[in-house]
Amino acid sequence: MNFPVLYLRKGAERRLRAGHLWVYSNEVDTRRSPLTDFEAGVQAELRAANDKPMGTVFVNPHALICGRLISRNSAHGMTPQRLTDRVETALVLRERLFDKPFYRWVFGDSDGLSGLVIDRFDDVVVVQISTAGMEQMKDAIVRAVQRLAHPRAIILKNDGKMRQVEGLDTYVEQAHGPEVDLLAVEENGVRFEVPMEGGQKTGWFYDHRMNRQRLQAYAPGKRVLDVFSYVGGWGIQAACAGATQVTCVDSSASAIESVHHNAKINGLDNIETIEGDAFDALKALCEEKEKFDIVVLDPPALIPRRRDQKAGEEAYARLNQLGLRLLDRDGLLVSASCSMHLSQEKLTDIIRSSGRKIDRFVQLLEQGHQAPDHPVVPGIPETDYIKSCFVRSLTGFL
């Protein structure tokens, strides 16, 4: 294939050589290769300043991440066959890991498919495309999914925030099969149904699967508070594992409705809900002197951008202080984060300082990570984003 050439500035290739797959617009030698010469989504050969080939990239001249590496071989572009091969390689891993077809099938850069996420819900597959390059491959993606999984339905849920950054329209489209109103999920032996309309991201968050499984070991006989519950992923699983009572907190009325629906399909009658802002709800529970044996905090990313670091860390601190206040004298705090800008070490330190501020002795029992259907590429720190701390909190211990 004959590609246009995108040149890097001197020294800009170091991060790519170390294992990263992104090219930032300020790393491009715009004198030799003006970004305005490239159309969004086009494939190009990437070369270092000394003219040494670095591989091929998808280019988007309008985005900060203006290049996404396709291959380190400058003769290999992203063809429908290469895309299908990578989707199949991703599928082989998931089928090895899980005995039922409920998982993140493709996790973007981690599977060599930057800008593409595919989630599988048995015979329904939800595809989310977030980059101009992958948008060009839309038809090939649908064909690959059809050939490899033969699903009843394929949904393109292309309404994520990243599409705006890439200059792409947002839309939800039924690419194959009948319309789907509810996504069926089975996780850790528990069943859920999630409405397609208004659902977050692709509809479910498989990334905390293993951490929710660990919660089940602590849940029997306990009173549990699940904050930012969405459709009840943590709380419903805790109840199925033997929690005596679960309270789910979410600001979305439709999410709260789904919590009750999911409680019903699992035969549970011990689920309560609070609809409202999580911080306000936690403060109100503190004022009412409510106590729980387990408090789960799984907020959305409170540090969406690096410039939000300080405000986000302060929000995590307020949240964890409130969570600790609501624990009985020997309680468990499960504090989770999906902010890639918050390290595991920093989350642990926030919990430490929160414990000291309210005079709690805290013991870190376990640290959780993202499930293996969200593999981490060591050279791409952005792929390592999920963390959780299981913390025992003791009052009057020291």
What tens digit of pLDDT does each residue of 365-385 get?
Answer: 999 999 999 999 999 999 999
Interval 146-194: pLDDT, tens: 999 999 999 999 998 899 989 999 999 999 999 999 999 999 999 999 9
- Kindly state the percentage of the chain with pLDDT values over 90: 94
Task: Give the pLDDT confidence score for residue 279 in this predicted structure.
Answer: 97
Residue 324's pLDDT is what?
98
Q: 205 and 337: one domain?
A: yes
Domain count, the chain: 3
Confidence bin at 398 (pLDDT 50/70/90): confident
Which of 71, 98, 121 terminates a domain? The answer is 71
Q: Are residues 210 and 153 in the same domain?
A: no
- Residue 253's identity, in one-letter code, is A
The pLDDT tens digits of the residues spanning 108-128 come to 999 999 999 999 999 999 999
Write down the pTM of the prediction: 0.94
pLDDT surpassing 80 at residue 201: no
Same-domain pairing of 313 and 263: yes
CATH code of the domain covering residue 198: 3.40.50.150
pLDDT band at 196 (very low <50, low <70, confident <90, very high): confident
* Domain, as residue range, for 295: 184-394
Report residue 203's pLDDT band, with 50, 70 and 90 as the boundaries: confident
Tell whether the model's pLDDT for residue 198 goes beyond 80. Answer: no
Residues of the chain with pLDDT > 70, as a percent, come to: 99
* pLDDT of 228 higher than 70: yes
Give the mean pLDDT of 238-257.
Answer: 97
Residues 176 and 188 in one domain: no
Active-site residue set? 338
Final residue of a structural domain among 180, 215, 233: 180
Task: Please state the rounded mean pLDDT for residues 282-309.
Answer: 95
Q: Which domain CATH number covers 176? A: 3.30.750.80
Mean pLDDT of 30-49: 97
* 200 and 67 fall within a common domain: no
* Residues 308, 228 share a domain: yes
Across the range 243-255, mean pLDDT stands at 96
Are 46 and 127 in a shared domain?
no
